[in-house]
């Protein structure tokens, strides 16, 4: 890794405030996986902690939302804010590996995630659940989080649960695989730390 970048740390903080949610997020892409997460949704907190721990991104999230209605707005807006913070910390994305992928097994479950930090957001979501809820959280909201993260982080993101039975294992393996893929993609390429990884010289726009 470029030592000057490593010493400084690629950091960013964002705040998102709407009539539905108020969210503060801070990240350090060159961290050690330290986290402080509070969204009011226990299962989402657990997933964001896994994201931090396995990506080694230091992550702080404080979210207050209209949970008396449902968990949708808080889940989606948290995905937006975390993605925005990652994108802001990446800056021009100079020197990054750009691509990452991971296979994560969790008991009977296996999930694959591939990511391209292309600044061209796109989500492929091939994950099915057999339960409507995990705890108090609707399982359909996990796709909303990944969609929001993909859009605001500027990531092409492919998430596929190859097989599994336990719904908790399925969704947790999705977040852990995202974390591991993201960890690889944000790493600085020591052979080309001074260049954007694209023949265009910039990430985003047309192929």
Average the pLDDT over 67-87 and give the result: 96
pLDDT of residue 6: 46
Secondary structure of the chain as H, E, C letters: CCHHHHHHCCEEEEEEECCCEEEEEEEECCCCCCEEEECCCHHHHHHHHHHHHHHCCEEEEEEEECCCCCCHHHHHHHHHHHHHHHHHHHCCCCCECCEEEEEEEECCEEEEEEEECCCCCEEEEECCCCCCEECCEECCHHHHHHHHHHHHHCCEEEEEEEECCCHHHHHHHHHHHHHHHHHHHHCECCCCCCCCCCCCCCCCCCC
Average pLDDT, the chain: 91
pLDDT band at 3 (very low <50, low <70, confident <90, very high): very low
Whole-angstrom distance, CA of residue 117 vs CA of residue 87: 9
Mean pLDDT of 73-96: 96
Question: Is 60 exceeded by the pLDDT of residue 199?
Answer: no
Q: Is residue 110 a contact partner of residue 170, using CB atoms and an 8 Å limit?
A: no
For residue range 24-69, what is the model confidence (pLDDT) as tens digits? 999 999 999 999 999 999 999 999 999 999 999 999 999 999 999 9
Residue 178 pLDDT greater than 50, yes or no: yes
Predicted confidence (pLDDT) at residue 206 exceeds the cutoff of 50:
no
pLDDT value at residue 207: 43
The pTM for the full model equals 0.92
Q: Domains of the chain (ranges plus CATH)?
A: 3-186 (3.30.230.40)
Specify the pLDDT at position 200.
61
pLDDT at 191: 80
Q: Is the pLDDT of residue 189 over 90?
A: no
| pLDDT tens string 118-167 | 999 999 999 999 999 998 999 999 999 999 999 999 999 999 999 999 99
**4: pLDDT confidence band, cut at 50, 70 and 90?**
very low
């Amino acid at each position: 890794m470029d030592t000057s970048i490593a010493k400084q740390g690629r950091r960013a903080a964002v705040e998102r405030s709407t009539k539905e949610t108020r969210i503060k997020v801070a990240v350090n892409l060159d961290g050690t996986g330290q986290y402080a997460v509070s969204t009011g949704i226990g299962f989402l907190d657990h997933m964001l902690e896994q994201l931090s721990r396995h990506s080694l991104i230091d992550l702080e999230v404080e979210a207050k939302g209209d949970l008396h209605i449902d968990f949708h707005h808080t889940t989606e807006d948290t995905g937006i804010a975390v993605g925005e913070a990652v994108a802001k910390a990446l800056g021009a994305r100079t020197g990054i590996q750009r691509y990452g992928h991971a296979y994560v097994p969790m008991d009977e479950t296996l999930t694959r995630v591939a990511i391209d930090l292309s600044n061209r957001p796109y989500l492929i979501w091939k994950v099915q659940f057999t339960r409507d809820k995990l705890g108090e959280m609707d399982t359909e909201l996990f796709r909303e989080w990944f969609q929001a993260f993909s859009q605001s982080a500027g990531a092409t993101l492919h998430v596929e649960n190859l097989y599994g039975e336990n719904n908790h294992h399925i969704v947790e393996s999705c977040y852990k695989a995202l974390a591991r893929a993201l960890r690889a993609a944000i790493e600085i390429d020591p052979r080309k730390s001074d260049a954007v990884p694209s023949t265009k010289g910039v990430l985003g726009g047309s192929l």
